[in-house]
Amino acid sequence: MKFNRWFTICITAFIILIFCLLMKAPKHFSWEQTFSHHDLQPFGCALLDSMLTRSLPHGYSVSRKTPYQMEQDDTVNRKSIFIVGTDYHIPDTDMKALFDMAYRGDHILLAGDYFGSLLEDTLRFKTWNYYYLMNLNTLKQYAKRMYPKDELIWCGDSSVYNTQKFHCYPPLCSGHFNLTDSTSCQILLFRQEEKTESDSIPKKKPVTITYTLGKGEITLASIPLLFTNYGLLDSNNHLLQLRLISHLAKYPVIRTECYTSPITGEQLSPLRYILSQPPLRWALYMILLGIILFILFTAKRKQRAIPVINPPKDHSLEFIKLIGTLYYQKKDHTDLVRKKFTYFTEQLRREAHIELSDGNDLDTQAEKIAGKTGMDPKCITEVLRRIYPVVKGEKDTTENEMKQLINEMENITNHLI
């Protein structure tokens, strides 16, 4: 029991130590661009979806339906469609559905790096993006060395929002539009390039534009990474996101993830790195197997140790010696004969079924005893005549007489059949 108690204490202390180390260990982030509703990593959209769900007046939901499916589901009620991602390709069928919904009055916001040739040819623009010239290490270098951020300037409808500047690192806002006809759209946000020697006026590169089609509108944004968790928490960019989303707030907003890959359960698990490495994965499996075996074997009822109990010692001989010593020291021979006679009569009653009376009819009693022992009745009668006076207190006895009487009673009982 003592061993089990110390074992339990050690296991508990080890588990507490592991939890403390895990809590103080540095967190490892995944910089994969998922744009997922469930992803809390830098380039997921969990924070954006949570914020819009609480702030949009007509509701906000996330779906995996394609624009064609949403256009076929409901052609009466107006809605707003929001698609965000990098390098996604919109099929011509879905693009035609987006145009139909826009002409009927729906509002559409597309945020991405490339929007397809059909949309570019129809609205007469080109998309330029230099993000792929920069990798994650480049972004880390910008943040580590405190390089200056690019400046994004809001120039939308001044009656709704005032002109405001927003700042972000170049890898997050490197895309822009080249407009064939700038009068056909409204520029909401542009990035101002640094003035060069050949340019007297700094160049303005649109990064967010909006087109009016029929009763609705289509808004295009070349800054998809600003809609992620990282972009939302960087500086005051959450205000920029709210300004862009406000173009959709007139109707219920549906963000579709049909062009992004769903996150698997393993990717969402906190143990995803351990499970991704074969040695760590097998170590985890062995730990779990050991815990299961430990539970199975310790769950059985354990047999308690049976204590060794020594048999009780026979002290009868010591008691007899003690009593004999007491009688010997007191020299009370008569009383010792009486005690022996009481035991003698009890033994005759138990083994021979002979009840000795008060001694008035000694011959009859001697005949019964002789019948059970085979001894001479006269000898038995003689013994009884010598014993009764001592038992009744009519006569005292000496030590030799005591020994003779006790030996004669022992002789009779030894002859019992």
CA atoms within 13 A on the CB side of 188: 21
For the cut 90, the answer to whether the pLDDT of residue 31 exceeds it is no
Higher pLDDT, 220 or 16: 220
pLDDT at residue number 415: 85
Higher pLDDT, 216 or 264: 216
Name the range with the highest mean pLDDT among 29-38, 196-205, 289-298.
29-38
pLDDT-derived band at 248, boundaries 50, 70, 90: very high
Question: Cβ(356)–Cβ(345) under 8 Å?
Answer: yes
The first and second tokens of residue 245, run together, are 């989303």
pLDDT at residue number 78: 93
Taking only the tens place, the pLDDT of each residue in 51-83 is 999 999 999 999 999 999 999 988 889 999 999
For the cut 80, the answer to whether the pLDDT of residue 189 exceeds it is yes
pLDDT at residue number 181: 82
pLDDT at residue number 312: 84
**29-278 placed in CATH 3.10.20:** no
Determine which of 138-152, 220-234, 340-354 has the lowest per-residue pLDDT on average.
Answer: 138-152
CA distance 301 to 408: 64
pLDDT at residue number 132: 47
Taking only the tens place, the pLDDT of each residue in 336-365 is 888 888 888 888 888 888 888 666 778 888
pLDDT-derived band at 98, boundaries 50, 70, 90: very high
Percent of the chain with pLDDT over 70: 87
Higher pLDDT, 410 or 142: 410
For the cut 70, the answer to whether the pLDDT of residue 200 exceeds it is no
Domain range annotation of the chain: 29-278, 316-414
* Residue reference for tokens 């107006």: 78
For the cut 60, the answer to whether the pLDDT of residue 3 exceeds it is no
Determine which of 17-21, 96-100, 258-262 has the lowest per-residue pLDDT on average.
Answer: 17-21
Mean pLDDT of the chain: 83
Determine which of 19-33, 147-161, 170-184 has the lowest per-residue pLDDT on average.
Answer: 19-33
CA distance 225 to 288: 39
pLDDT-derived band at 105, boundaries 50, 70, 90: very high
Sign of CA dihedral 236, 238, 240, 243: negative
pLDDT at residue number 301: 61
Higher pLDDT, 318 or 303: 318
For the cut 60, the answer to whether the pLDDT of residue 320 exceeds it is yes
Average pLDDT over residues 76-97: 91
pLDDT at residue number 299: 61
Average pLDDT over residues 258-272: 64
- 3-class DSSP string for the chain: CHHHHHHHHHHHHHHHHHHHHHHHCCCCCCCCCCCCCCCCCCCCCHHHHHHHHHHCCCCEEEECCCHHHHHHHCCCCCCEEEEECCCCCCCHHHHHHHHHHHHHCCEEEEECCCCCHHHHHHHCEEEECCHHHCCHHHHHHHHHCCCCCEEEEECCCCCCCCCCEEEECHHHCCCEEEECCHHHCEEEEEEECCCCCCCCCCCEEEEEEEEEECCEEEEEECCHHHHCHHHHHCCCHHHHHHHHHCCCCCCCEEEECCCCCCCCHHHHCCCHHHHHCHHHHHHHHHHHHHHHHHHHHHCCCCCCCCCCCCCCCCCHHHHHHHHHHHHHHHCCHHHHHHHHHHHHHHHHHHHCCCCCCCCCCHHHHHHHHHHHHCCCHHHHHHHHHHHHHHHCCCCCCCHHHHHHHHHHHHHHHHCCC
List all residues 6 or more positions away from 306 whose beta carbon is below 8 Å from its beta carbon. none
For the cut 80, the answer to whether the pLDDT of residue 223 exceeds it is yes
For the cut 50, the answer to whether the pLDDT of residue 264 exceeds it is no
The first and second tokens of residue 290, run together, are 């050991």
pLDDT-derived band at 262, boundaries 50, 70, 90: confident
Average pLDDT over residues 359-373: 82
